[in-house]
């Protein structure tokens, strides 16, 4: 599952992904009311990835959805996004217009699709649905091409291929913006690492138009684990649906405080990553 990627194809588990595509998969049934980040591949560098799942009973149009690894993502609304901390390895990218994710389906965004010695295709024997690269161009994979995530006018993707996702401390946020509002809406968020800095944990408290987020030092990060050896595969996988998350009074697309989730309980480290396939530990 996860399939080969190509423009105009289908996105998600059991299908293909591409600009204007739709996602395969069965009805997820009762459950969360928004998309979830379900897996993040953090090692080796050439096969970094983000997996997103639609656990709802309706298809979701991703045209106004974005991903970022920097806590300043919300400033997208006020002009060109300025990197904080590590400009060569940070990103803020948008899904191609018309991309759909069907109920129960998953899709994968990879930092690289190349077939290098630690590339995504080499390691997992398949292609991601989308790729993150600083040029915003499709990359070759599996005899075809993998469409790139869009680099919006106010966004950017770092040029340090293989170093977009930090092993030790990092965050990934999935959010939506309609292109004109003064605020964004969080969809899902995960952070990991026992230490953090200003750009690896979200806290929009006090910012105009936003509800208070959970204080950065009070957030409960996922445990990214320790790789079996240098360069060995390592990922964090979601095994529970937003443990302990506040469902009201937040900045989420459905009113949740996405920063309040107990990620140490929702995620576990995995030495055998499975991008493009629903995690077996999920209900």
Which pLDDT score, from 0 to 100, does residue 99 have?
A: 98
Domain parsing of the chain, residue ranges: 10-270
CA distances from 158 to 12, 96, 137, 225, 260 (A): 25, 18, 14, 25, 28
Per residue in 88-110, pLDDT tens?
A: 678 999 999 999 999 999 999 99
Which pLDDT score, from 0 to 100, does residue 10 have?
A: 45
Which pLDDT score, from 0 to 100, does residue 101 have?
A: 98
| Among the ranges given (1-5, 110-114, 194-198, 238-242), the one the predictor scored with the smallest mean pLDDT | 1-5
CB 137 within 8 A of CB 148: yes
Claim: this prediction has a pTM higher than 0.85: yes
Per residue in 10-69, pLDDT tens?
A: 454 433 444 444 333 333 234 689 999 999 999 888 889 999 999 999 999 999 999 999
Cβ-based burial of 11 (10 A; exposed 0-12, middle 13-18, buried ≥19): buried
Which pLDDT score, from 0 to 100, does residue 16 have?
A: 40
**Which residues, including other chains, have CB under 8 Å from residue 218's CB and lie 6 or more apart?**
none
Strands 139-141 and 106-110 turn out to be unpaired
CATH for 10-270 is 2.60.40.1260
């Amino acid at each position: 599952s996860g399939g080969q990627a190509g423009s105009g194809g289908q996105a998600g588990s059991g299908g293909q992904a591409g600009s204007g595509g739709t996602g395969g998969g069965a009805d997820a049934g009762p459950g969360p009311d928004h998309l979830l980040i379900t897996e993040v591949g953090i090692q080796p560098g050439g096969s970094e990835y983000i997996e997103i799942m639609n656990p709802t009973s309706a298809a979701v149009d991703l045209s106004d959805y974005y991903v970022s690894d920097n806590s300043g993502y919300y400033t997208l609304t006020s002009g060109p996004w300025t990197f904080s901390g590590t400009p060569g390895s940070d990103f803020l990218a948008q899904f191609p217009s018309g991309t759909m994710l069907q109920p129960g389906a998953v899709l994968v965004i990879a930092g690289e699709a190349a077939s290098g010695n630690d590339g995504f295709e080499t390691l997992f024997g398949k292609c991601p649905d989308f790729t993150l690269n600083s040029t915003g161009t499709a990359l070759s994979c599996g005899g075809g091409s993998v469409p790139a995530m869009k680099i919006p006018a106010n966004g950017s993707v770092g040029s340090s291929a293989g170093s977009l996702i930090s092993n030790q401390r990092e965050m990934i946020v999935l959010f939506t913006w309609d292109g004109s509002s003064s605020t964004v809406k969080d969809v899902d968020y995960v952070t990991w690492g026992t230490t953090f800095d200003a750009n690896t944990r979200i806290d929009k408290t006090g910012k105009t138009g936003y509800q208070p987020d959970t204080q950065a030092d009070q957030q409960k990060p996922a445990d990214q684990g320790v790789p079996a050896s240098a360069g060995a595969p390592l990922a964090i996988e979601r095994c529970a649906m937003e443990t302990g998350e506040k469902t009201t009074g937040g900045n989420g697309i459905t009113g949740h405080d996405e920063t309040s989730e107990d990620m140490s309980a929702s995620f576990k480290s995995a030495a055998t990553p499975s991008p493009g396939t629903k995690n077996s530990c999920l209900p």
